[in-house]
Amino acid sequence: MPTLFVTAPEAAAESLARTLVEERLAACVNTTPCQSVYRWEGDIHEDDERILLVKTTSDSVEDAADRIESLHPYDVPCIERFEEEWTLPAFAQWRDDAVE
């Protein structure tokens, strides 16, 4: 089952996380603060952001990514998919039950 790794501005992170869970596109979204240094349009930027770890299912991962992209304030949001190699079976069952 996949996890999406997403970065977002602090002001948008909570809304993104809540929407994904409310719409049953994710069972859970963990957020943590981070400092990002990146190149955009030829300039170096440093911004406070949040990392979102979006726990979803294989059936919902593309819909979740599409929803994130539609709500995200960046022109090109960071959305990366990670596949799990192993997950506690009870957690996997809970996640699957929480996502439609």
24-59 confidence digits (pLDDT tens): 999 999 999 999 999 999 999 999 999 999 999 999
Report how far residue 46's alpha carbon sits from residue 21's, in angstroms, rounded to the nearest whole number. Answer: 29
Report how far residue 38's alpha carbon sits from residue 15's, in angstroms, rounded to the nearest whole number. Answer: 23
The amino acid that residue 73 corresponds to is P
Q: How far is CA 82 from the centre of its chain?
A: 11
Domain ranges of the chain: 2-98
3-state class (DSSP) for residue 5 = strand
CATH topology of domain 2-98: Alpha-Beta Plaits (3.30.70)
What predicted TM-score, i.e. pTM, was given to this entire model? 0.90
Q: Which pair of structure tokens corresponds to residue 82?
A: 């990670």
For residue 84, the model assigns a pLDDT of: 78
**Helical H segments across the chain, by residue range:** 10-22, 61-71, 89-98
